[in-house]
């Protein structure tokens, strides 16, 4: 089985959408997928913010996604987890920096880990940084 790990660090809506779409398709295609949400991306997983669709950096394509009510990145990750071999990890440092507990995040995370732990999980596979 192929393995891909995605480090999601951007708070740009289109990058969140693209990463979630790639991760979900890879998982459904039978790949082992690990997603590590860190830095600016972590704030985009605060449940209240996602529920209200309060996104800071939305471009032209992102506006169309919202207009057409397409599934959001959090939904795509949830679907990928249900239909394939995907795990989503929250960065412990990023959670500390935004001062939010995991309970205030969208419920997609399997665990809270540090960088060293995630690198161990990602070992032996392809790593993408978005």
Determine the average pLDDT of the residues in 77-105: 95
Check residue 38 and give its pLDDT.
97
pLDDT tens string 103-125: 999 999 999 999 999 999 999 99
Confidence of residue 1 (pLDDT cuts 50, 70, 90): low
pLDDT tens string 17-36: 999 999 999 999 999 999 99
Tell how strand 32-37 and strand 86-91 pair up: parallel
Select the CATH number that applies to the domain covering 3-129 from these four: 3.40.1260.10, 3.40.50.720, 3.40.50.150, 3.40.50.620.
3.40.1260.10
Determine the average pLDDT of the residues in 35-41: 97
The pTM (predicted TM-score) of the whole model is 0.94
Distance from C-alpha of 18 to C-alpha of 39, rounded to nearest angstrom: 17
Asked if 22 and 69 touch (Cβ cutoff 8 Å), the reply is: no
End-to-end CA distance of the chain: 23
Asked if 42 and 104 touch (Cβ cutoff 8 Å), the reply is: no
Count of residues making up the chain: 130
Output DSSP code: residue 70: P
């Amino acid at each position: 089985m192929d393995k891909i790990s995605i480090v999601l660090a951007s708070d740009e809506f289109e990058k969140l959408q693209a990463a979630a779409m790639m991760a979900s398709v890879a998982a459904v295609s039978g790949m082992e997928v690990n997603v590590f949400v860190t830095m600016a991306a972590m704030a985009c997983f605060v449940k209240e913010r996602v529920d209200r669709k309060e996104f800071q950096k939305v471009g032209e394509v992102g506006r169309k996604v919202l207009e057409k009510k397409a599934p959001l990145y959090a939904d795509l990750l949830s679907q990928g987890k249900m239909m394939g071999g995907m795990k989503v990890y929250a960065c412990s440092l990023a959670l500390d920096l935004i001062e939010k507990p995991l309970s205030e995040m969208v419920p997609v995370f399997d665990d809270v880990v540090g960088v060293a732990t995630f690198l161990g999980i990602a070992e032996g596979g392809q790593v993408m940084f978005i």
